C-alpha cells in the first residue's frame, strides 16, 4: 500500500488527495491541516464579512465529513515542522505541543502562502488585521460585531483590498483605501484603474494612491494611520492587505530548492528536486504558458489544477501542468474587472512587439433593457497578429467572466486576434449581439492595425 502524505488542506492539498484516491482506491492518504478548516474558500471571505454569506460554514467547498467519506484521513490542527527525506518522514506538532513523526512513500507540499507583513509600525495593535485565513476572518468578524466600527482604513489596493472595500461599505462602514501604486489594482492598465476608482467613489470609498503607509498608532479610541506625503487618517479599524508570499519554511530541512519570491521550484509534473516530494499551489513557482518560463502567480484556480496533477503523478501518473495565463476576475461594487495573458508592458518585457487598443461596446443589444457598456483593452503582436492579452471592465451582470474566458481559451490555443471572428459564439438579444463583443473588440484591433499601416 502506498502511503501518500499531504501537507496543507486548502485548494492544492485537497485536490491532490481527491485525485489520488480517485485513481487508486488502495492508496493511504493523510492530509495534515494547520487549522480545522480544510478545503474552505478563502476567496469567499470578503462575502462572509460583508454579510452577503451569513454562515461561514457555507464557504466550505466540501465538509470534513465529505472529505473523509472518500477515504482521506484528515489530521486537523497540526503543523509540519521538519521533513526527513532520507527516512521519508515528517515531524508534525499539534496545538498542545504534542509531536509525532509521519512516514510517507510520496509527499505533496501544498503549504500555500501567508500575508506579507510590510514594515509598518503598529501591526500588532488591537483593531489592526491581516486577512488571509478563516481564523483571520473570524477575528475581523468578531471585531465588526463587538465594536461596530464606523470607519476603516484598508492598506493595499489590490484584489483583497478592493473586495474588502466593497464588503465593509456593504456593512455601512466609511472606507479609505490606500495604495502605494499610482492607480488602484495595478494588475490592469492605469485608465482601467481609474474606472475602478470612479466606481468606488460613487459608493463613498475614498481611494488614495501613491502613498506608503509608515505607522499605525493608538490615539485614544482611534487608530491613526500615517504615511508618505503627509498622509494622515484616523479610523476605527485597519485592514492590511498588501499581497502574499509562499510558505516554504520546510525547505531548509528537506534540501528543497527555492526559486523566485521564495517559492518551491518544481517541474511541470509538480516534482521538486528531492525524490518522491511534490509541491503545488501558492507555495510554488508556476509555469506561464505565454512567457514559456516560470513565474510566481498565486491563484486558486491554478492551485486546484496543480494539486490534481501532483496527486495523479504521486500514484503513478505522468501528467504535466499546461501553464497559467493569469486569468482573473474580481467584482467591485457594480463592476467586474478581468484580465488574462499579458499587458502591453509585460509583453514588451517578454520580447513581443505588442500593440494595445481600447474599445467599448454594449454587453447585449442596446434595445434590450439593462444593457451596459463593456470596456476592452486587447493586446496583440504587431508582427503576426497573435493574441497576447486582454483586460475587460464592465457591469458585473454583463458576462465579463464569460468573455474573459473566451479570450483565455483563445490564448491557450495560440490564436491570432483575427481568428476570434471564426468562433461560433451564442447570441440572443438579452445576452449578446450577432457579433459578440469579444469579436467586435477583435475586429476593432485588426481595423486599427490596418489603419496604422496606411
Say if residue 112's pLDDT is above 90. yes
Say if residue 157's pLDDT is above 90. yes
Active-site residues, by number, are 43
What is the predicted pLDDT for the residue at 253? 87
Residue pair 201/182 in contact (Cβ under 8 Å)? The answer is no
Residue pair 219/234 in contact (Cβ under 8 Å)? The answer is yes
The percentage of the chain sitting over the pLDDT mark of 90, rounded to a whole number, equals: 97
**% helix, strand, coil for the chain, step of 5:** 30, 30, 40
Q: Please state the φ and ψ torsions of residue 410, each to the nearest 5 degrees.
A: -65, -40
Residue pair 10/40 in contact (Cβ under 8 Å)? The answer is yes
Task: Specify the pairing of strand 277-279 against strand 286-288.
Answer: unpaired
The label of the residue with cell 511541470 reads 268
Share the mean pLDDT of the chain.
96
Mean pLDDT along residues 199-214 = 97
- Per-residue pLDDT reduced to its tens digit, 231-281: 999 999 999 999 999 999 999 889 999 999 999 999 999 999 999 999 999
Say if residue 136's pLDDT is above 70. yes
Say if residue 116's pLDDT is above 70. yes
The domains located in the chain, with CATH, are 3-113+245-314 (3.50.50.60), 128-242 (3.50.50.60), 328-453 (3.50.50.60)
What is the predicted pLDDT for the residue at 81? 96
Report residue 446 as a C-alpha cell.
Answer: 485588426
Report residue 307 as a C-alpha cell.
Answer: 494539486
Neighbour tally for 390: CB within 10 Å: 31
What is the predicted pLDDT for the residue at 121? 96
Q: How far apart are the first and last CA of the chain?
A: 69
In 181-306, the DSSP E strands lie at 206-208, 213-219, 222-227, 232-235, 237-240, 244-246, 277-279, 286-288, 293-295
In 250-386, the DSSP E strands lie at 277-279, 286-288, 293-295, 328-332, 335-341, 354-362, 373-381
- Per-residue pLDDT reduced to its tens digit, 366-408: 999 999 999 999 999 999 999 999 999 999 998 999 999 999 9
Mean pLDDT along residues 285-289 = 97
Residue pair 248/283 in contact (Cβ under 8 Å)? The answer is yes
Say if residue 454's pLDDT is above 70. no
DSSP letter, residue 385? -
Mean pLDDT along residues 118-145 = 95
Which of 341, 438, 435 lies closest to 399 in space, CA to CA? 438
Task: Specify the pairing of strand 237-240 against strand 128-130.
Answer: parallel
Give every CB contact of residue 208 below 8 A, 6+ residues apart in sequence.
176, 177, 178, 179, 231
- Per-residue pLDDT reduced to its tens digit, 161-189: 999 999 999 999 999 999 999 999 999 99
Q: Spell 315-350 as b/e; 16+ CB within 10 A means b.
A: bebebebebbbbbbbbbbbebbbbbbbbbbebbeee
Neighbour tally for 187: CB within 10 Å: 17
Say if residue 453's pLDDT is above 70. no
Which of 245, 224, 246, 221 lies closest to 234 in space, CA to CA? 224
Mean pLDDT along residues 88-117 = 96
The percentage of the chain sitting over the pLDDT mark of 70, rounded to a whole number, equals: 100
What is the band of 451 on the pLDDT scale with cuts at 50, 70, 90?
confident
Amino acid at each position: 500500500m502506498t502511503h501518500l502524505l499531504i501537507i496543507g488542506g486548502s485548494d492544492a492539498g485537497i485536490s491532490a488527495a481527491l485525485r489520488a484516491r480517485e485513481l487508486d482506491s488502495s492508496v493511504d492518504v493523510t492530509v495534515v491541516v494547520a487549522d480545522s478548516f480544510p478545503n474552505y474558500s478563502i476567496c469567499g471571505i470578503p462575502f462572509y464579512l460583508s454579510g452577503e454569506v451569513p454562515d461561514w460554514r457555507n464557504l466550505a467547498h466540501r465538509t470534513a465529513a465529505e472529505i473523509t467519506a472518500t477515504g482521506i484521513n484528515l489530521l486537523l490542527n497540526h503543523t509540519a515542522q521538519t521533513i526527513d527525506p532520507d527516512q521519508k518522514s515528517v515531524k508534525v506538532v499539534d496545538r498542545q505541543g504534542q509531536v509525532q513523526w509521519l512516514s510517507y512513500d510520496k509527499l505533496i507540499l501544498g503549504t500555500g502562502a501567508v500575508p506579507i507583513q510590510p514594515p509598518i509600525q503598529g501591526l500588532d495593535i488591537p483593531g489592526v488585521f491581516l486577512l488571509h485565513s478563516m481564523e483571520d476572518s473570524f477575528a475581523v468578524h468578531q471585531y465588526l460585531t463587538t465594536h461596530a466600527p464606523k470607519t476603516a482604513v484598508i492598506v493595499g489596493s489590490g484584489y483583497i483590498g478592493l473586495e474588502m472595500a466593497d464588503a465593509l461599505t456593504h456593512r455601512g462602514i466609511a472606507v479609505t483605501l490606500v495604495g502605494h501604486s499610482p492607480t488602484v489594482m495595478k494588475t490592469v492598465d492605469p485608465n482601467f484603474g481609474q474606472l475602478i476608482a470612479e466606481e468606488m467613489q460613487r459608493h463613498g470609498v475614498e481611494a488614495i494612491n501613491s502613498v506608503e503607509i509608515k505607522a499605525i498608532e493608538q490615539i485614544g479610541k482611534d487608530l491613526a494611520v500615517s504615511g508618505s506625503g503627509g498622509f494622515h487618517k484616523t479610523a476605527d479599524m485597519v485592514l492590511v492587505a498588501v499581497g502574499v508570499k509562499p510558505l516554504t519554511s520546510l525547505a531548509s530541512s528537506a534540501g528543497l530548492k527555492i526559486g523566485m519570491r521564495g517559492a518551491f521550484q518544481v517541474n511541470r509534473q509538480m516534482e521538486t528536486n528531492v525524490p518522491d516530494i511534490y509541491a503545488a499551489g501558492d507555495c510554488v513557482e508556476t509555469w506561464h504558458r505565454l512567457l514559456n518560463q516560470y513565474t510566481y502567480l498565486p491563484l486558486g484556480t491554478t492551485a486546484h489544477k496543480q494539486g490534481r496533477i501532483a496527486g495523479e503523478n504521486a500514484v503513478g501518473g505522468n501528467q504535466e501542468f499546461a501553464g497559467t495565463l493569469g486569468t482573473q476576475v474580481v467584482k467591485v461594487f457594480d463592476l467586474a474587472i478581468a484580465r488574462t495573458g499579458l499587458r502591453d508592458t509585460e509583453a514588451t518585457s517578454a520580447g513581443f512587439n505588442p500593440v494595445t487598443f481600447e474599445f467599448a461596446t454594449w454587453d447585449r443589444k442596446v434595445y434590450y433593457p439593462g444593457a451596459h457598456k463593456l470596456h476592452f483593452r486587447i493586446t496583440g503582436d504587431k508582427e503576426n497578429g497573435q493574441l497576447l492579452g486582454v483586460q475587460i471592465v464592465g457591469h458585473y451582470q454583463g458576462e465579463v467572466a464569460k468573455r474573459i474566458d473566451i479570450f483565455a481559451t483563445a490564448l491557450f490555443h495560440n490564436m491570432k486576434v483575427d481568428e476570434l471572428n471564426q468562433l461560433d459564439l451564442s447570441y440572443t438579444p438579452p445576452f449578446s449581439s450577432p457579433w459578440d463583443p469579444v469579436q467586435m473588440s477583435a475586429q476593432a484591433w485588426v481595423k486599427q492595425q490596418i489603419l496604422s499601416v496606411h
